[in-house]
Amino acid sequence: MDQLGFVIETRGGFELTIDLSLSFEKMVELGNYDHVSPSVTEELFPLHGRYGDFIKVSLVDCSGLSRPDALKHIDSLNLVPADMTELLEFGHLYPDMQKQRAIVALGDQANIAPFLFWTEQFGRLLGVVNCDKKTGGILFLQQSCSSKWWFLALAK
């Protein structure tokens, strides 16, 4: 348990090489998703290379936590939440990970977050979840995906 009382469960050691010469559309295409939400746009989630080309990321279990609590938990591990740029590259390089749990990137917007998920019926999905403005809860994941999900995060 960390100092905030959260059970620490992370999976680390995933390496990403961010190629910012690729367009947003090309990065989405390389993920080979079966379904991409129309809300996944460069206008909402612009690409950038905030930590350079080569980064290591971790999957942090914050299942059931509100967005504010998940951000506190990620910070307590000396990590920062990933954004769409890192999520797209992660989905491209590690496509089978989203079959285990939904993977969310909290680093772009306050009330929405991109995520990866897999279902038997629809295959690999790249979507956007809404966060409840009052509670910070991640609505779609609580209501329909699974009881457990990971947040993608990287070292500060």
CATH number of 10-155: 3.10.100
110-137 pLDDT tens trace: 678 899 999 898 899 999 887 655 544 4
45-93 pLDDT tens trace: 988 876 567 888 999 987 777 778 888 888 988 999 999 999 999 999 9
What is the model's pTM?
A: 0.84
Q: What is the 3-state secondary structure (H, E, C) of the chain?
A: CCCCCCCCCEEEEEEEECCCCCCHHHHHHHCCCCEECCCCCCCCCCCCCCCCCEEEEEEEECCCCCHHHHHHHHHHCCEEECCHHHHHHHHHHCHHHHHCCEEECCCCCCCEEEEEEEECCCEEEEEEEEECCCCCCEHHHHHHHCCCEEEEEEEC
